[in-house]
């Protein structure tokens, strides 16, 4: 299937590492299950929903289908489609009456997080959410160390502005450690970001 961005460029899905199914337990903590950040967050959000803690879902990406083949009467195959609009952030929902909106990104770079992983329309969206008093942040994973951090939108915007002013095009891991909040990986929930939000908002 061919999927294109609104500007006509083809969407190329990045290959993900092979999934590991083994769960290892060391000193009571669970580590390196081989799951992507998205899978871990979806699992976490399901845990929150089941226990009435929060209602957070991944936003669907609106796609315009332009070509469909019908090899069988009972099956349809999408051959070509376009993203209708540029996406904003990955997740949104509600926690204790407050609106939650966040982006999830991961990098294999062990020392810095490239700002090219974000786009101007996402930054603008975060600014608009903050103006309305919503909880806005990003969850970042360094895959090499399997470390996850919550970084509030405010410092992210400052790092973005630094880049726009001609500064470095990434956030160093040290800056994320200082400005963000480390989230230790667990089992249930896997990435307990609500525990961090309780201390921030």
In sequence order, which ranges of 17-131 are alpha helices (DSSP H)?
37-50, 120-131
HEC string of 132-150 equals CCCEEEEEEEECCCCEEEE
Q: Is 48 left (phi over 0), alpha (psi -120 to 50) or beta?
A: alpha
Q: At the top level of CATH, which class does the domain 2-200 belong to?
A: alpha beta
Report the half-sphere exposure of 188 (CA within 13 A, side-chain side).
6
Q: Is the pTM of this model over 0.85?
A: no
pLDDT at 200 (0 to 100): 87
Dihedral sign computed on CA atoms, order 101, 90, 44, 140: negative
Q: What confidence tens digit (pLDDT) does each residue in 43-64 have?
A: 999 999 999 999 999 987 666 6
Answer for the pair 186, 29: CB distance below 8 angstroms, yes or no: yes
Give the start-to-end residue ranges of the domains of the chain: 2-200
Answer for the pair 123, 157: CB distance below 8 angstroms, yes or no: yes
138 by Cβ neighbours in 10 Å (0-12 / 13-18 / 19+) ranks as buried
The region of weakest confidence among 56-70, 86-100, 174-188 is 56-70
Give the rounded percent of residues in the chain with a pLDDT score beyond 70: 75
Q: Quick one: tokens of 61?
A: 């990406």
Q: What confidence tens digit (pLDDT) does each residue in 62-90 have?
A: 666 677 787 776 777 777 766 555 668 98
Q: Is the pLDDT of residue 21 over 50?
A: no
pLDDT at 62 (0 to 100): 60
pLDDT at 70 (0 to 100): 78
Q: What confidence tens digit (pLDDT) does each residue in 114-125 have?
A: 999 999 999 999
Answer for the pair 92, 56: CB distance below 8 angstroms, yes or no: yes
């Amino acid at each position: 299937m061919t999927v294109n961005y609104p500007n006509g460029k083809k969407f190329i899905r990045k290959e993900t590492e092979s999934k590991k199914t083994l769960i290892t337990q060391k000193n009571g903590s669970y580590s390196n299950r081989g799951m992507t950040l998205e899978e871990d967050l979806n699992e976490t959000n399901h845990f929150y929903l089941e226990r009435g803690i929060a209602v957070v879902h991944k936003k669907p990406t609106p796609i315009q289908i332009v070509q469909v083949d019908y090899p069988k009467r009972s099956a349809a195959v999408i051959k070509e489609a376009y993203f209708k609009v540029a996406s904003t952030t990955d997740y949104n929902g509600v926690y204790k009456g407050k609106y939650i909106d966040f982006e999830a990104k991961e990098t294999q770079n062990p020392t810095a997080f490239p700002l090219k992983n974000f786009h101007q329309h996402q930054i603008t969206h975060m600014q608009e959410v903050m103006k309305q008093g919503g909880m806005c942040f990003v969850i970042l994973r360094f895959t090499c160390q399997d470390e996850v951090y919550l970084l509030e939108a405010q410092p992210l915007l400052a790092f973005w502005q630094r880049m726009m002013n001609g500064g470095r095009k990434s956030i160093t891991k040290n800056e994320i450690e200082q400005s963000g909040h480390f989230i230790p990986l667990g089992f249930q929930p896997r990435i307990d970001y609500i525990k961090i939000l309780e201390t921030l908002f």
